[in-house]
Structure 1
């Protein structure tokens, strides 16, 4: 947040941080959502500001991972100075995208979560774009084919733009997104493709996401 004169507050949202403006409906992301029936400012508020024109906003954090720092130039110091290009506002050109992956030996999901490589992709979104591109999360980045890189480049754009379009309301996500299966019990998850009857298969799990490949 840039003020007329330094220092300026720098907000690191963590997993559940959010800024709420009084009287304005914002993102419906469930981990950070504050009920409109709660007192104002919320009991989870870490910073409350009232401006001269009457506007009020509150920085909330239910899980206490968020941080607020006062800095003379927030963009010149970590973590902002270490961020890679924004996946939505500064997307890599396809050729640069393919070449960048070709130089990395990290697992593809780890690379997508590396904010110094590309900023803006978190855990569930990395799972989603890899699922839509049909790429195994543990596959080495440099070994991904050019065609798969093209598919991943497209899926990153599609998943982010759709998420923004619906205001992060997961109820509005497409039915074929694996996001809807993140918290379902075993056997109840969404399956996109033929049922696997063979006992020979590879199962890879990370948190609530499972990717199953027929052998």
Structure 2
């Protein structure tokens, strides 16, 4: 699933292509699920002929703003992606090696394609139909955005703030890190990476963590986000000693990291990769 670094990459792609540009053509494919029950024509009306004034993001949500409402909001789901056509062949882990275009040269699994006045195009694709688009008046008033906690990259919580939140909860650390009402933007691989680098076990009830452990989690969260966002979520640029490179593949994935056994199990309802000898 695209997490904060991947969604920030998508936001930057759209900003580079669309900001200050009139959208000359908007193609939106009818899909009751992805379009949140709204007809494609409502999105075309909200996009075509309008000049983009801002591209925003909070957590895993992104949006396209204009001088007036409506705003077009989006979420990439499990494997949705936005790329500039002809200038971006980046792939998520979930994308595998399948062709990005069909026999006619059109993006496979196309949901939305926007052509700017300068001729450049961006396309939203999603083979699993778990991405979402919706219309709203403003990021400040949108119900989905308002449910999010602070963005972990743009507005990181302090150690003191995290400590106060953890003191009131008994849930396992993994589950709390994935709570978007607290840590907006953190997903499965980020949570596992943060816990691994901080040396804290995913099953630990958060109200049992020491201040030093919470500080380690905060610092590692900031470091990991800073590096991964700066790298444009290009996985090849992630340090070789990151859990990221070996956590995938389920039971067929790597068995060790640095000579230590990797355990894969369900924690907080999500598959979790961790190292008991290094995480306490």
Could you tell me the TM-score, scaled by structure 2's length? 0.65
Aligned to 2:187: 122
Q: Deviations for 1:31-64, whole angstroms, at most 9, x for unmatched residues?
A: 3589786355412210112233323211111221
Give the structure 1 partner of residue 71 of structure 2: 8
How far, CA to CA, are the matches of 2:168 and 2:178 in structure 1?
A: 16
Which of 193, 211, 227 is residue 162 of structure 1 equivalent to?
227
Residue 179 of structure 1, CA deviation = 1.5
Match of 2:135 among 51, 70, 75: 70
Give 1:5 shift.
2.5
Structure 1: which 5+ residue stretches go unaligned? 196-202
Count of residues in Structure 1 that have an aligned counterpart in Structure 2: 208
Deviations 1:55-74 (A, max 9, x none): 32111112210011122234
Alpha-carbon shift at residue 177 of structure 1 (Å): 1.2
Residue 198 of structure 1: aligned partner: none
Q: 1:29 — aligned with what?
A: 92
Report the secondary structure of 1:20's partner residue. strand
Flag as ranges the 4+ runs of structure 1 deviating above 6 A: 33-37
User: Structure 1: how far apart are the matches of 2:203 and 2:153?
Assistant: 24
Q: Which runs of 5+ in 2 are unaligned?
A: 1-63
**2:276 aligned partner:** 212
1:95 equivalenced with 2:160 (yes/no): yes
- Give the match's secondary structure for 1:152: helix
SS at match of 2:226: helix
CA distance in 1, matches of 2:207, 2:154: 25
**Which secondary structure does the structure 2 equivalent of 1:212 belong to?**
coil
- Does the CA contact (< 8 Å) of 2:178 and 2:191 recur in 1? yes
Matched, 1:190 2:256: yes
- Cα distance between partner residues in 2 of 1:102 and 1:48: 46
Q: Secondary structure at the match of 1:4?
A: coil
SS in structure 2 of the partner of residue 128 of structure 1: helix
Distance 2:246 2:95 in 1: 20
User: What is the deviation of 1:79?
Assistant: 1.6
